[in-house]
Amino acid sequence: MFSKACEYAIRATIYIAVQSNQDNRVGLKDISKEIDSPEAFTAKILQQLSKNNIINSIKGPNGGFEIDKKDMSKINLSQIVMAIDGDTIYKGCGLGFKQCSEKQPCPVHDKFKVVRDELKHMLETTNVLELSVGLKKGLTFLHR
Amino acid sequence: MFSKACEYAIRATIYIAVQSNQDNRVGLKDISKEIDSPEAFTAKILQQLSKNNIINSIKGPNGGFEIDKKDMSKINLSQIVMAIDGDTIYKGCGLGFKQCSEKQPCPVHDKFKVVRDELKHMLETTNVLELSVGLKKGLTFLHR
DNA sequence: ATAATAAAAGATAAATTTGTCTTTTATTTT
DNA sequence: AAAATAAAAGACAAATTTATCTTTTATTAT
Ligand code: FES
Ligand code: FES
């Protein structure tokens, strides 16, 4: 569904959100340990998220990553997916045509579109704050 | 969403269905040209489909691939996806855990499950015969 | 200013997926 | 039986994704 990079991105963002909510800035090492991801690869992904203004990065001692509390409810999964995987999940065709199209649809177009649109809606209406709540409560997990 | 191999598999199956409905057995060259896929790679995929009893393959002169007319309405997209990509799309976790689990769910589990289940339902209730109808009528396309 | 810290950037490397080429096997026609 | 046809099988190669390692830059504390 999503690339590995995107999966790590979502996990990392949720973890940073939980910590930022408690005014804890977190470093790369911390993050990759907590979400069980390769450290250097995670660094690249965090850079992308930072460039896309999804997280803030601070260099130097006591540096790390954080998310503004006021932004958390405005960051949704769609923004993260777009930042890492681009819009292929929205514009791509279920059978692999470069672009999905109503004019020249593939055989599964009508049925695929329904699912894709629901996925899109889910990603757009799920924000990082709500996801962080379940995690903080211990109801959900970032690793096993 | 699906692997390239799986996309080719679905396209090929639909094309073979259309032709089989008109009692035309079709060869690899024909298929890969029609669905615009790499020939040798397509051959591997057709082998998989044949091993999984989704299509029949016949060797030798006037050989090729075909689907029993009576089976067409019983072959659904789910079977094709399972044959090529396995069950990751059903059992996999949206955030990359090996197995999705109710006991130890990831933060997006509840929301992801809804979409995944709808995808599953769509794949299970869409059969090859109905997809081949739109194609034969010229309403849908296997290439652009 | 200097040293220490932590992320950014860039260069490689491993793994996986996608794609190709050659040889073999099965089947049919002559 | 021999030749021709077409898929199966196996080995190989390219491309992409995932992952690692090293050097540089920015920031802070001493
Ligand atoms: S054209 Fe294939 S999904 Fe729209
Ligand atoms: S545990 Fe992640 S989707 Fe179920």
pLDDT digits (tens, 9 = 90+) for A91-119: 999 999 999 999 999 999 999 999 999 99
Do residues A142 and A86 touch, judged by C-beta distance below 8 A? no
Of all nucleotides, the one whose C1′ comes closest to residue B43's CA is: D7
| Residues in chain A closer than 8 A to B2 (CB atoms) | 94, 96
- Percent of chain B beyond pLDDT 90? 99
Angle between helices B39-51 and B4-21 (to 10 degrees): 70
pLDDT value at residue A117: 97
DSSP state of A127: B
Q: How far apart are CA B87 and CA B82, in angstroms?
A: 6
Answer whether A107 touches B (CB < 8 Å).
yes
Structural domains in chain A, sorted by start: 4-136 (1.10.10.10)
Do residues B94 and B121 touch, judged by C-beta distance below 8 A? no
Ligand 2 contact, B112 CB (< 6 A): yes
pLDDT value at residue B128: 98
In which residue ranges of chain A is pLDDT below 70?
Answer: none
pLDDT value at residue B44: 98
Query: Cα-Cα-Cα-Cα dihedral of A101, A107, A113, A119, to 10°?
Result: -120
CA of A127 to C1' of D7 (A): 52
Q: Which of B11, B92, B113, B76 is nearest to A1 (CA)?
A: B92
Q: Which long-range contacts (CB under 8 A, 24 or more apart) does A5-8 make?
A: A5/A41, A5/A44, A5/A45, A5/A84, A5/A85, A6/A80, A6/A81, A6/A84, A6/A85, A7/B94, A7/B95, A7/B96, A8/A35, A8/A37, A8/A41, A8/A42, A8/A45, A8/B96
| pLDDT, mean of residues B101-130 | 98
pLDDT value at residue A55: 98
Q: How far apart are CA B131 and CA B142, in angstroms?
A: 11
Strand C neighbours (CB under 7 Å) are A 27-29, 40, 43-44, 46-47, 50-51, 57-65; B 3-5, 8, 37-41, 43-44, 58-63
| pLDDT, mean of residues B116-142 | 98
Task: Encode B22-44: b = buried (16+ Cβ within 10 Å), e = exposed.
Answer: eeebbebebbbebbebeeeebee
pLDDT value at residue B28: 98
pLDDT value at residue A83: 98
| pLDDT, mean of residues B86-94 | 95
